[in-house]
């Protein structure tokens, strides 16, 4: 089902961008976790061609995030960024949530659970990742600091992504 | 001297207490979210400032609730299976599913983009899912 494939591609793309950004902000850029995020970026850049929104290059980063990554590579990024004070991240989170919601609606209308019917093993890996990402995008765009603090940390999101990949949830993406 | 409860008994008690917390949290969130949804009846229109404030608050409340129970999926699955075994409906998953739909639709209702707002779940569609779930909560 094309709508499901499109939603999966959007979920992956948003999850990786969110994860890279959260990882940068949490200061984990020299750890294995950061390397794992870069690996996800490389994987997705090679598999998402043509499956994301037409106004995006495959896994193109938003400009503000690319600036952060460029600064990191140039050695000019020496402390974690306070994402709460970063309106670009908040706006991006809000927009991404809307994109996911918009993509999920045609599937909802059919009476199906978005990402819940693709033969996942275990069955809940896809929906659980979508849920985690949705919640975190809402909280990342919240203006209330206490709500903001409840968003998912990069490492937890990475574990869910890896679990989904291990479960074969995303293999259809590359077909 | 009273015997100390065994590990499995402590776990059972902890599970029962956690289940009750989840039920209370979900029930309260569901009632408040449904009240607003029915009242708002989103139809793709641009919301007023007052409506937007209410929707944002409710969307955050739904999200915090769902985030709070995210790691309890095994317990929630167990409750559903246990209910089937004992003939009592204790399946919280339809409520969680409807809260997710409401969360997504509240997000779309807040959008600046009219095309996205037009995708919001209409009140009628919400109500079709709401009816059986509200009966579940009354029976519970």
pLDDT in tens, B8-38: 888 889 889 999 999 999 999 999 999 999 9
Q: Quick one: tokens of B66?
A: 């769902």
CB distance from B75 to chain A under 8 Å? Answer: no
Q: pLDDT band at A58, cuts 50/70/90?
A: low
Using a CB-CB cut-off of 8 Å, the residues of chain A touching B75 are: none
Tens digit of each residue's pLDDT (9 = 90 or more) over A65-84: 788 778 777 776 667 777 77
Buried b (16+ CB within 10 A) or exposed e, B107-129: bbbbbeeeebbebbbebeebeeb
Q: What confidence score (pLDDT) does residue A170 get?
A: 61
The pTM for the full model equals 0.89
Provide mean pLDDT across the span B32-50.
Answer: 96
> What per-residue confidence (pLDDT) applies to B35?
96
* pLDDT over 50 (residue A55): no
CA distance A132 to chain B (A): 7
Q: Is A150–B67 a contact, with Cβ atoms under 8 angstroms apart?
A: yes
Residue B64 contacts A where some CB pair is shorter than 8 Å: yes
Count of A–B CB contacts within 8 Å?
Answer: 59
Q: Which residue of B has its CA nearest to A107?
A: B101
pLDDT score of B94 more than 80: yes
Q: What phi-psi label fits residue B73: left (phi over 0), alpha (psi between -120 and 50 degrees) or beta?
A: alpha
Q: Do A104 and B107 touch (CB under 8 A)?
A: no
Residues of A in contact with B116 (CB under 8 A): 98, 101-102
pLDDT band at residue A123 under the 50/70/90 scheme: low
Prediction ipTM score: 0.89
Percent with pLDDT over 70 in chain B: 95
Contact by Cβ (8 Å): A127, A113: yes
Q: Which of B66, B97, B111 sits opposite A135 (nearest CB)?
A: B66
The rounded distance, in Å, linking the Cα atoms of A13 and A59 is 6
Q: Round to whole Å and give the CA distance between A152 and A149.
A: 8
Residue at token pair 């709401």:
B130
Q: What is the mean pLDDT of chain A?
A: 80
Angle at B9 between CA B3 and CA B14, to 5 degrees: 120
B108 interfacial to chain A (CB closer than 8 Å)? yes
Interface check for B59 against chain A (CB to CB < 8 A): the answer is yes
A49–chain B nearest CA distance, Å: 24
Best to test chain B binding among A7, A101, A163 (most B CBs inside 10 Å): A101
Residue range A6-17, pLDDT digits in tens: 888 888 889 999
Q: Please state, rounded to an integer, the average pLDDT across all residues of chain B.
A: 92
């Amino acid at each position: 089902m094309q709508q499901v494939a499109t939603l999966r591609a959007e979920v992956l793309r948003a999850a990786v961008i969110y994860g890279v950004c959260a990882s940068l902000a949490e200061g984990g850029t020299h750890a294995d976790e950061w390397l794992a995020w870069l690996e996800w970026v490389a994987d997705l850049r090679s598999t998402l061609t043509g499956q994301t929104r037409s106004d995006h290059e495959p896994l193109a980063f938003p400009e503000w995030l690319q600036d952060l990554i460029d600064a990191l590579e140039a050695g000019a990024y020496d402390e974690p960024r306070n994402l709460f004070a970063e309106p670009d991240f908040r706006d991006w989170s809000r927009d991404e949530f809307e994109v996911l919601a918009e993509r999920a609606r045609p599937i909802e209308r059919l009476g199906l659970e978005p990402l819940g019917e693709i033969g996942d093993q275990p069955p809940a890996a896809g929906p659980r990742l979508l849920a985690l990402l949705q919640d975190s995008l809402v909280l990342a765009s919240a203006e209330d600091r206490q709500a903001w603090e409840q968003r998912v940390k990069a490492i937890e999101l990475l574990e869910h992504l890896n679990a989904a990949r291990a479960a074969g949830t995303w293999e259809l993406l590359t077909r | 001297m009273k015997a100390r409860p065994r590990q499995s008994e402590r776990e059972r008690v902890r599970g029962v207490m956690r289940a009750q917390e989840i039920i209370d949290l979900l029930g309260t969130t569901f009632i408040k979210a449904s009240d607003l949804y029915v009242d708002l009846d989103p139809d793709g229109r641009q919301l007023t400032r007052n409506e937007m404030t209410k929707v944002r608050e409710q969307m955050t409340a739904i999200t915090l609730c769902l985030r709070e129970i995210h790691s309890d999926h095994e317990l929630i699955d167990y409750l559903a299976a246990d209910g089937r075994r004992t003939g009592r409906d204790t399946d919280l998953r339809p409520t969680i599913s409807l809260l997710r739909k409401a969360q997504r639709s509240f997000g779309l209702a807040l959008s600046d983009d009219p095309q996205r707002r037009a995708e919001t779940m209409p009140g009628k569609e919400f109500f079709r899912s709401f009816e059986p779930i509200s009966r579940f909560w009354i029976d519970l």
